[in-house]
Amino acid sequence: MKYYVSAKALRSGDGSEERPFRTIREAAVLAKAGDEVIVAPGIYREAVDPHCGGTEDGRIVYRSQVKGAAVITGAELVKSWTRYQKDVWMVRIPNSFFGEYNPYTTYVRGDWYFAASPVHTGEVFLNDKAMYESTTLEGVLKPQIYRPSWDPDFTRHKWYTCQEGGDTVIYANFQGKDPNEETVEITVRPNCFYPSQTGINYITLSGFTVTKAATQWAPPTAYQEGMIGPHWAKGWIIEDCDVSHARCSGISLGKYLQPNNDNKWSTKYYKDGTQTERDAICQAQLEGWTKENIGSHIIRRCNIHDCGQTGIVGHLGGVFSIIEDNHIHHINNKQDLAGAEIGGIKMHAAIDVIYRRNHIHHCTRGLWLDWQAQGTRVTQNLFHDNTPPEGTEITNGLSLGEDIFVEVSHGPTLIDNNLLLSSCAGRISTQGIAFVHNLIAGSFTYVGQGTDNSGKKFPTPRYTPYHVPHRTEVAGFMTILHGDARFYNNIFVQQPVRTDLAAWAQKWGTYRLDLVQFICGTKPYDGYPTPEAYFGAFSPANAMDGNNRDIYYDHLPVATGGNVYFNGAQPCDSEKDAVVVTDRTVELMLREDGTLVTDLYDHLPSMENRPISSAVLGEAFEPEQRFENPDGSAILFDVDYFDVRRALSPLSGPFTQAAGEIRLYPEDM
């Protein structure tokens, strides 16, 4: 059955094409498996709560009749501003207007949230741009530039809220604009398209603009809400949507509510956050977290931008998903939120998740894979500008940013055929990882570090789980030994080191090879054994020797081959076959139109590279699982970034062949 919705209907009808509903919410109450909800262009200021799910063979489809023209928003227009002083205006809103949830009395909070200044889940928007909250009225009357922001000039647009006699009062400095003549909105709802119940399976959301929701911080140990999300279900498709301006997270593939373990670290304090995370994982397994029940979602061809915490967030609920062909950009650029859960994509337990052909840029960090990136593949993506712009004040180590952060996972985590062009390409506090056929123009940071809880007196290792291959069931827990890394057929191009980033690292005492450093290449793996040396040390004579137990806790090995280094990029000391080009300097520049300008392939040496496959990469050490497809089949890296087939002796890097200018993405990305 088809239901029709039109915001322009004079009054709500029966959902037929002739007499459409006025709200999507009405259709969401009735739609059953196999039904389609067709939504006409218009603005829908509502929270859509799908009551029923579909089936694998009979999805429920919510479709915008014109791509991008049906707008679901969690914001309301405000046209009743009165001038307070000069550029500062005020509005008084009865608290009854907000119902059960008032974003202007609700602060952003939760585990791993570390912002210095308190901010609310609500926001004020001037012409679709989020203004900056002040903690005092004085900060609105005399606004100062906020230097950590990636857009410092706009930070003079300040607002402040307080409670007076049952009203929410908002003061805002519109910098000379009349808010009653401009488009000024405030967020009032926490979600836009999100079921209140779990288990609402097989929903498709297609072609909508979804924007401006007062979402809460979404750490892995809490109920993880988003502006859009399946809320602990299976088989959703979110496609061709424009997703923007969530206070915290745009799309959540995240964790359901565990009342006994919801932000326990930051509310009860007595258990460390990593322990409550382990508790949450084991509890979820007991309560139905299986491949049959949860995950297997698809997010594709979406434009995701201008969210405060993440474009996509998830823990446990995103397993076995595909995230492809999305444009994810300008995430956390306001820098008014701070903590360990921020990125273009931030996912825990991305088991068998595939990230492919995404364009991720101008995010505080691009892709953060935290814990259990087992069977995860990152392929054919373009990353750039995921470190702060020059002149931005960097307030802490997590503000530095990088293209990919893989943290405390046992793998196998596969990163192949990508372009990693930011100053920091990867933060590699992990093991069980493989880089194959990438073009890398930034450094690797935190190699060998960042896997404990920074205890000063006692050891504080993070025991993280690994799983039965291609399943959710936990197979064991172990600390991170580092290494167990493979680097094959990559090209490394050293870029000029930014003096501001180097100065910041020196100021904070972190400018060292195993922390924050800016040498492009595998150099941070100096001192790590080769596979031959590592496994050759084990024998019946010493394996059970009580005086030689350290052998089980040394760094794991690093395997290399077919890598090329330009412009001063450096290999690790065990990489004997590295090709280091010292007699020429190559150009590498990405233009705003998506064209990579380079003479790299004019200077690439002739090499006899061997084809790389699952057989070459072998198994990740701890889970004893191959680098392979989610169905267990082998991977042969026989096609490049553009799906062009490689030669028998393939070129290093992500391209089979390249001219001086390479168009990497279409104009609409």
* CA-to-CA dists, residue 612 to 410, 434, 539, 557, 628, angstroms: 21, 11, 29, 18, 12
Report residue 656: phi and psi, to 5°.
-75, -35
Residue 218 main-chain phi, psi, to 5 deg: -125, 75
What pLDDT score does 396 carry? 81
pLDDT confidence of residue 539: 79
Q: Quick one: pLDDT at residue 43?
A: 98
d(CA 335, CA 189) in angstroms, rounded, equals 22
Q: Do 324 and 355 contact (CB within 8 A), yes or no?
A: yes
β partners of residue 315? 348
- Tokens (6 digits) for 243: 């997703």
Q: Which residues of the chain have pLDDT under 70?
A: 543-546, 667-669
The upper half-sphere exposure of residue 574, i.e. CA atoms within 13 Å in the direction of its Cβ, equals 20
| Beta carbons of 227 and 243 less than 8 angstroms apart | yes
Q: Tell the residue number behind the tokens 């509890």, with chain if given.
A: 283
User: What are the residues whose beta carbons fall under 8 Å from the beta carbon of 86, sequence distance 6 or more?
Assistant: none
> DSSP secondary-structure letter at 118?
-
d(CA 8, CA 22): 7
Residues contacting 638, CB < 8 A, separation 6+: 611, 645, 646, 650
Instruction: Tell me which DSSP letter residue 261 carries.
Output: G
Tokens found for residue 453: 């809880």
CA distance 336 to 284: 32
Confidence (pLDDT) at 537: 86
DSSP H helices, 6-102, are 24-30
Sign of the Cα pseudo-torsion (249, 250, 254, 260, in order): positive
- Phi-psi region at 265: left, alpha or beta (left = phi > 0; alpha = psi -120 to 50): alpha
Give me the pLDDT at residue 500, please.
93
Q: Which residues pair with 130 in a beta bridge?
A: 125
Q: Rounded distance, CA 669 to CA 300, Å?
A: 13
pLDDT digits (tens, 9 = 90+) for 600-641: 988 998 888 999 999 999 999 999 999 999 999 999 999 999
Q: Are strands 491-493 and 474-478 parallel, antiparallel or unpaired?
A: unpaired
pLDDT value, residue 667:
64
Beta bridge partners of 71: 43, 209
DSSP one-letter string for 492-518? EEPPPPPHHHHHHHHHTT-BSTTSB--
Buried b (16+ CB within 10 A) or exposed e, 77-95: ebeebeebeebbbbbebee
CA trace torsion 9, 14, 17, 19 (10° rounding): -40
Q: Are 563 and 489 in contact (CB under 8 A)?
A: yes
Do residues 508 and 580 touch, judged by C-beta distance below 8 A? no
